[in-house]
């Protein structure tokens, strides 16, 4: 399978990026019977809270994007999907047989963004490669991969836009 990556982006906050990302994922899964994954690269974690809820979000620490990207061992060989994507979102939908997964994040992603900005070029290149590999892995497993980006400029928002087949820009 070679799924499409959709980046939901706008530099302005409060325009509905997360709402569009979450509803699009649910629509792809529920109405079109296609598998979908949401990658939350907004350190506010709104997509994570929307799909997993606050109680479950705290239990997904090992799968948080910032932790996955910092783990060297997860990129030395093909990663099992369960190491970085939470697949139980499907259980919360009307189509539990069709995969709907989440790659969560938390506000600690700001720290990784800062590390990248403050470091030499090597860290940026390393994170770019790891993020692209993660998206490529998801692309092979899901029909649609939707990336919810933060407002303003961010490393992962920019990389998601570069990797995207489609960029959706919600406007108010």
CATH code, domain carrying 72 = 3.40.50.300
pLDDT at 96 over 80: no
Which residue range forms the structural domain that includes residue 100? 8-140
pTM for this one?
Answer: 0.90
pLDDT in tens, 6-18: 999 998 888 899 9
H or E stretch covering 24: helix 17-30
Look at the chain and report how many structural domains it folds into: 1
Asked whether residue 168 is domain-assigned, the answer is: no
- For 159, the token pair is 């990389």
Residue 56 pLDDT > 80: no
DSSP tag of 8: E
């Amino acid at each position: 399978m070679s799924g499409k990556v959709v980046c939901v982006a706008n530099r302005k906050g409060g325009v509905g990026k997360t709402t569009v990302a979450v509803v699009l994922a649910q629509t792809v899964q529920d109405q079109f019977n296609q598998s979908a994954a949401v990658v939350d690269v907004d350190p506010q974690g709104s997509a994570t809270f929307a799909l997993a809820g606050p109680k479950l979000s705290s239990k997904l620490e090992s799968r948080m994007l910032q932790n996955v990207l910092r783990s060297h061992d997860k990129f030395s060989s093909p990663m099992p999907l369960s190491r970085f994507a939470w697949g139980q979102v499907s259980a919360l939908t009307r189509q539990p047989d069709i995969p709907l997964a989440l790659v969560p994040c938390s506000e600690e992603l700001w720290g990784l963004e800062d590390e990248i900005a403050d470091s030499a070029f090597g860290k940026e290149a390393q994170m770019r490669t790891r993020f692209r590999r993660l998206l490529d892995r998801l692309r092979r497993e899901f029909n649609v991969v939707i990336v919810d980006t933060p407002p303003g400029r961010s490393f992962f928002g920019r990389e998601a836009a570069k990797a995207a087949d489609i960029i959706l820009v919600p406007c108010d």
